[in-house]
Chains A and B, each alone.
Chain A
Amino acid sequence: MSLLEVENLRTHFISRDIDNQIRVAQALNDVSFTLEAGKVLGFVGETGAGKSLTAQSICGLLRPPARIVGGSVFFDGQDLREMPEDDLNAIRGDQIAMVVQNPRTSLDPLTRIGDQLARIHQTHSGGPISTSRERALEMMEAVGIPDPTNRAKSWPHELSGGMAQRVLIAMALMNNPKLLIADEPTTGLDVTVQAQILDLLKGLTERFGMAMIVITHDLGIVAHYSDEIAVMFAGTIVEAGPVVDVFNNPQHPYTQSLIASTPEKLQIGGSAKLGGQPPDLYNLPSGCPLRTRCSFAQEICATPPPRRQINDTHYSVCHFSGKSPANGSAS
């Protein structure tokens, strides 16, 4: 049994507009994946592809008008979707922890950081407050905050962006989570600081044996810090597998174009680009959602594309996967 098993997860935004018309945005459409303990899974895709929404759906953090309309989420054998809110609260921040993109807005501005760290430990683990305080100092040390004893007394506004991100990671680690979800953990940080944070996260998964989901739009991060990759487009995973397999042998046209668009692969004026507008989630095309932008699209693409296994662990959701349309078989 895997640590996290997500199957056919569907999340839609259902609302009524000012003209009393019901509008449905199909934001997640049958997202399925599994994650083993101790592994790092990287989610990539463009804005609106559903990366963050997948994480929020797993954790039960959706707010109206977003709603899970189908599928299941099993964490450590427990069905998170069927779980009462109180039980879910006991798991969030304890066994599943999250690190979000804007560290500064995620900290309570009126509480010293040491107290914030101790508080989250108290909430889930209880015990004497002195134990929580000690644990806070330990975790601050572990995430590379110099002079933890003094730093614990500082206020969130006194921290730099990188420091605030470290505090948030320390907070996520307070209760020894089995799963850490890092949503764009380094966006907005300088590259030289980004490297420090990523090395830290990678080191922590190895040290504590926890699983991690990294959500990012930076393929470089996934290439070097993940074991597995899931490429999302229009609310579905279009290709997934071990990082090395997917990067060496990308099968889905979208994955191919993403890799071709990275600065070191990019050739000015080159052809392997998928531009165009992001798909309208209120009005997705039939069949393959990419077909309106895909240069290999043919008539068959109006029917739902099959999931084709490239090998045991690597699959791609495209009619032409494994047939390599990119290599010019204009049949």
Chain B
Amino acid sequence: MAETVSSDFEGDATSKPAFSLKNRLIGIARVSPTMAAGILIILAFGVMALFAEFLMPHDPVSAYHDRILQPPSAEHWFGTDGNGMDVFSRVIYGAKFGFGIAIPAVLLSIIIGVPVGLIAGYRGGLLDEVLMRFFDGLRVFPSIILALAVVAATGQSLLNVVLVLGFLDSPVFARVVRSEVLALRSSVFVESAKAAGNPTWRILFVHLLPNAVQGAMAQTAVRAAWAVRISATLAFLGVGIQAPTPEWGAMIRQGAEFMVTGQWWVALYPGIALILLVFGLNLFGDGLQDLTDPRRRAAK
């Protein structure tokens, strides 16, 4: 995203010691242990999502009609649900949905939000006013209700959930980029670009964008956490993803009815998985923001 125009001068001539992932992780852990914990949690769920097929002891959607609502055991670590499906396998498979919704939703937010913030910040004036007021309007409306309404109206599908979440969250990126551009547009290198004869599109996308995008990138993890949480909430409310799809929100919804009758494991384990992933993404996101925002870093 940062390199929109190819460079005539590829390769890096500066001599730096070889990059070592271990040293980088130790370095991060020293500066921000919480960020390192976040990274570990996200990595763990990432492995679950990528290698679910190898990690699941059972098919997440095959129902064992003779083993309905069994408590955790050696065979079914997290027990079985009301259909007789293995909760452990379903929790693992659910990570695919977590990332599968969050990543495209955040990408869509960036694709919509970043250019809007860029243009609004650089042009200013009426255009800025109109775009930003519209986006403010999106923000003040409770997002869960808006998402509910839109998904209900456009039809129950995974794609619609991703589109709605992506669109609803784009103002966050527009705001961040806009404020960066406001600070950058009077900087000397932008004036220098103008003096050299750059057309507006080049000033926007070659000069401003790569310098303004850092703050937006720091937001991605926190926004992914938001997307995971809201998509699970939608599924819990029965919108978007339906049971018996092994998605955590849908699983919690299904398990909620068994809570009163004492079968706690159906809802508890997907709940823990959801909390952990959101927590991990937020820890990582906070760390990212600390690293990129010197004011926040100084406060520590």
Contact = CB atoms under 8 A, between A and B. Distances in A.
A contacts B directly in the complex (CB < 8 Å)? yes
Contacts of B19: 19
Interface string B17-28: 101100110111
Interface in B216-272: none
A21 B23 contact: yes
A20 B17 contact: no
B30 interface: yes
B257 to A, nearest CB: 49
Contacts of B30: 16, 20
A17 interface: yes
Given A16-B27, A18-B24, A18-B31, 6 more contacts: A17-B27, A18-B28, A19-B19, A20-B23, A20-B24, A21-B17
Interface residues of A, number: 6
A129 B194 CA distance: 57
Contacts of B20: 19
Interface of B: 17, 19-20, 23-24, 26-28, 30-31
A18 B27 CA distance: 5
B13 to A, nearest CB: 15
B106 to A, nearest CB: 24
A16 B30 CA distance: 9
A17 B20 CA distance: 13
Contacts of A21: 17, 23, 27
21 contacts: A16-B27, A16-B30, A17-B27, A18-B24, A18-B27, A18-B28, A18-B31, A19-B17, A19-B19, A19-B20, A19-B23, A19-B24, A19-B27, A20-B23, A20-B24, A20-B26, A20-B27, A20-B30, A21-B17, A21-B23, A21-B27
Interface in A8-37: 16-21
Nearest to B16: A19
Interface in A69-128: none
Nearest to A20: B27
Contacts of B27: 16-21
A18 to B, nearest CB: 5
A21 B17 CA distance: 10
Contacts of B26: 20
Nearest to B20: A19
A19 B31 CA distance: 10
A192 B20 CA distance: 56
Contacts of B23: 19-21
Nearest to A17: B27
A19 B20 CA distance: 8
A78 to B, nearest CB: 34
A155 to B, nearest CB: 26
Contacts of A17: 27
